[in-house]
Structure formats: C-alpha cells, structure tokens
Amino acid sequence: MTNSVEKIKIFCDNCGKLVAVVTFYPEGENKSNSLPTLKVSDISGWICNSIIPHSNGKKSLLHIAKLLKERKFRELSYDYFGFVCYKCDKAYCVNCWKDITPIWDGNFYDYTLATCPAGHESMIDD
C-alpha cells in the first residue's frame, strides 16, 4: 500500500495522446482535504474533472488507482471516467471521440453523448 502522492497517466488507446492524469493523495497530502482523495484531471478540460472523495473509502481509492494502472477500465465507476468507452474497455482522448452531442433537459444541461472510434455510443460527461 502506497502512502505517497501518486500520479497515473492515462493515454488514448487510439492515438496515444495523454487523456487524463489521475492523482492519488494519501491522508494529509491534499491541502484542500485532509482525507485521502483521487483527483481526475482531464487534459482537454471538459470530458471529466472530478475529485473522488474519501467517502468511497481509502481502500477503494487505492483499488481504483490500481485498476487505472492496469487499464481495467470496465471495472471503474461510470461517473468519474468519461474518457472510457466501457464497451471497448479503452480510453480515448477528446479528438478521438466523434459526434459529441450535449443533451439538454429543457434549459438544463443533462449529459453528453459521443461515439468512440469503434462506433459505440457512450456517455462521456454526466
């Protein structure tokens, strides 16, 4: 079990570009939150930027970090990783997703659909 800050880089399965950096902060290392957190920073800045809170449990945060390193994307929670096509079990950068379509519920933004390079429609932002 690691107790230091760890950065996991996710590269696009289609073109090789950097898609996102996921940082694991152990307890006391994240200035804005004393509890362990996982921060997901999407390079393009729009598919997915989220903090996965400690409420998921430190063990599960480390488990998520492990799954990311092993690129076992299908086992990740849906909401936090919009760059993943769960049908392919692969990660794609913003340039490789096609037909990016924001879906509105009246005046309110709801979610964004896109098509992966293999032709699967997927929710890339929620």
Residues linked to residue 85 through DSSP beta bridges, in sequence order: 90
If binding is defined by CB under 5 A, does position 74 make contact with Zn ion?
no
List 18, 74, 118, 126, residue binding Zn ion (CB under 5 A): 118
124 binds Zn ion per the rule CB under 5 A: no
Assess 120 for contact with Zn ion (CB under 5 A).
Answer: yes
Choose between 14 and 30: whose C-beta lies nearer to Zn ion: 14
* The only residue of 40, 52, 93, 124 in contact with Zn ion, by rule CB under 5 A: 93
Angle at 107 between CA 105 and CA 110, to 5 degrees: 40
Binding of Zn ion at residue 20 (CB under 5 A)? no
When asked if residue 12 is in the footprint of Zn ion (CB under 5 A), the reply is yes
For tokens 């924001």, the residue is 102
5 contacts Zn ion (rule: CB under 5 A): no
Interface with Zn ion, residue 15, by CB under 5 A: yes
Using the structure block, give the residue that is written with the tokens 């307890």. 27
Residue 53, SS3?
Answer: coil
Backbone angles phi, psi at 98, to 5 degrees: -110, 165
88 binds Zn ion (CB under 5 A): yes
Contacts of 78 (CB under 8 A, 6+ apart): 86, 123, 126
Q: Pull the structure tokens for residue 44.
A: 């393009």
96 near Zn ion, judged by CB under 5 A: yes
Which residues would be at the binding site for Zn ion (CB under 5 A)? 12, 14-15, 17, 85, 87-88, 93, 96, 116, 118, 120
